[in-house]
Amino acid sequence: MVVLVTGSNGQLGQALQALSERYPFFQFVFCNSKELDITNKVNCKAVFEKYTPDFCINAAAYTAVDKAESEPEKAFEINANGAENIAESCKRHNTILLHISTDFVFDAYYSNNIAYYDKELRLPLKSNLGLTETDVPFPAGIYGLTKLQGEQAVQHTWEKHFILRTSWVYSEFGTNFLKTMLRLASERDTLSVVDDQIGTPTYAIDLAEALLQMILFCTSRNILDDLFGTYHFSNEGNCSWYDFAHEIFKEKDITINLQPIPTTSYPTPAKRPQYSVLDKTKIKKVFDLNIQNWKISLQDCLQKV
């Protein structure tokens, strides 16, 4: 089984590389953005013809959420057109596509629906589980919009796909919230972090493991048609960015004056979702996955940074 991974230098790409030794029965082909530029159709065609992959994990994306507001064409080219190019190549070679998307497709609708979340209990009101795959996406920013356009391009181009929406990805690799908090704590005595955006952190290694388990599951089934479609994945539980930072410093025994602040005190070019906890019921049931609580996975990651 050949598993092609795009965007292999990113957080998820590196997490997949780290796990690949545990899956010796897969032949992995890891391509960074130079080896496979997903916006280049000729390049996509050549790589797929060379390796004829059975599965493709599209971990390549434009992920600079704020910068996307000032360069929407680039975000669209990678997140929408790039996703379509990959889906077309998958179709040509009958390759099952696992495409990664984001909780940011939900921003506007739920951010405005204040009744959706109980701030005291820190629980969603509707189901206590979060946003489901059938909730209607309604992105507020360019990044979320281009990721939604990528989802739609995949859906329209090639039916043998899994779209995996995830949130708040962090790891020992690349740049992310966890690394930024540790760096800032080494430079400052006081730190203010937003406490009114609620979501769930996702350890990239857990996300990578879930994707590889999904592929394993597929290889053991003859008929998959009913399973293709959209799924949500993050770690279990929910928190604010302030809670996340608090847990990082607690686990690392870092003493710092950490202050909770509202989003209004930390304006950013792109609007963030106020509430983006993902409901994982579907993925757990279909693929028989066990998902760790975010605090446990954070401990795993902190042993490596």
Catalytic residue, from 143, 203, 231, 275: name it.
143
- Taking the least distance from each CB to ligand NAP, the nearer of 117 and 168 is 168
DSSP string spanning the chain?
-EEEEESTTSHHHHHHHHHGGG-TTSEEEE--TTT--TT-HHHHHHHHHHH--SEEEE------TTGGGT-HHHHHIIIIIIHHHHHHHHHHHTPEEEEEEEGGGGHHHHHH-GGGEETTTTEESSSSS-B-TTSPP---SHHHHHHHHHHHHHHHH-SSEEEEEE-SEE-SSSS-HHHHHHHHHHH-SEEEEE-S-EE--EEHHHHHHHHHHHHHHHHT-S--TTT-EEEE---BS-EEHHHHHHHHHHHTT---EEEEE-GGGS--SSPPPSB-PBP-HHHHHHHT----BHHHHHHHHHTT-
Span near ligand NAP by CB under 6 A; candidates 54-62, 133-141, 271-279, 290-298: 54-62
Pattern 89-128, ligand NAP, x by CB under 6 A: -----------x-x--------------------------
Catalytic, 143? Answer yes
Tell me which stretch binds ligand NAP (CB under 6 A): 44-52, 166-174, 181-189, 280-288: 166-174
Q: Residue from 38, 56, 148, 214 that binds ligand NAP (CB under 6 A)?
A: 38
- 162 scored as a contact of ligand NAP (CB under 6 A): no
Q: Does 234 bind ligand NAP (CB under 6 A)?
A: no
Burial of 22 by CB count in 10 Å (0-12 exposed, 13-18 middle, 19+ buried)?
exposed
Of positions 96, 98, 105, 169, contacts ligand NAP by CB under 6 A: 169
Nearer to ligand NAP, 165 or 190 (CB): 165
Q: Which of residues 173-212 bind ligand NAP (CB under 6 A)?
A: 174
Shortest Cβ distance from residue 158 to ligand NAP (Å)? 17
Residue from 3, 4, 5, 12 binding ligand NAP (CB under 6 A): 12
Q: Does 5 bind ligand NAP (CB under 6 A)?
A: no
Residue 7 makes contact with ligand NAP by CB under 6 A? yes
Of 4, 44, 57, 59, the one binding ligand NAP (CB under 6 A) is: 59
> What does the alpha-carbon distance between residue 263 and residue 32 come to, in Å, rounded to a whole number?
35
Smallest distance, ligand NAP to C-beta of residue 204, A: 6
Q: By the criterion CB under 6 A, which residues form the site for ligand NAP?
A: 6-7, 9-13, 32-33, 36-39, 59-63, 78, 82, 100, 102, 147, 166-169, 174
Catalytic residues: 143
